[in-house]
Copies of this chain bind each other. A is one copy, B any other.
Amino acid sequence: MTQPLKIHYTPIEVRGYELDSFGHVNNAVYLNYFEHGRWDLFRKLKLNEIIHATHRIIVVTDIHVRYMREAKLYDELEVRTRMIREGLYLIFKQKIFNKQSGLAIARGEVKTIFLAQETRKPTDIPKEFIEYL
């Protein structure tokens, strides 16, 4: 990774009710983990406030998840999140690591776009975001 300073870290511990009937974390739960990583980053950088102040909303257009290894009960994980820009799109590159083994268990890419709150038409990324990319 070329921008180590821009990576955001969110710890997560696997909870009993997140396991599926095979005893592993269910596929859809990884999306919850990734989403938690993004909310956590938004809070730290006060990005919700910027979005609100610039009269925009942000919507997800695409999600891609690569499942690499299983997560099990009580595993201590870490979601690593960074943002890149691709035209009008703000893209979240995320990885989930198992803290004990140090190995990546999943990789995610979440593509989002900003809409003007009024017109719901696509608009550019708020300039206040640029320093975090």
Interface of A toward B, CB cutoff 8 Å? 15-17, 19-23, 26-29, 31-32, 35-36, 38-39, 43, 59-67, 73-74
Beta-carbon contact of B65 and A39 below 8 Å: no
Beta-carbon contact of B31 and A21 below 8 Å: no
Contact of A16 with B35 at beta-carbon distance under 8 Å, contacts A21-B23, A43-B74, A67-B62 already known: yes
Contact of A16 with B27 at beta-carbon distance under 8 Å, contacts A62-B65, A64-B63 already known: no
Interface of A is mostly: mixed
The residue among A28, A32, A38, A66 with the most chain B CB atoms within 10 A of its own CB is A28
Question: Which residues does chain B contribute within 8 Å of A22, judged by CB atoms?
Answer: 21
Question: Which residues does chain B contribute within 8 Å of A62, judged by CB atoms?
Answer: 64-67
Chain B: CB-nearest residue to A109: B64
A26 is contacted by which of B17, B23, B39, B65 (Cβ under 8 Å)?
B17
Chain B: CB-nearest residue to A107: B62
Beta-carbon contact of A39 and B21 below 8 Å: no
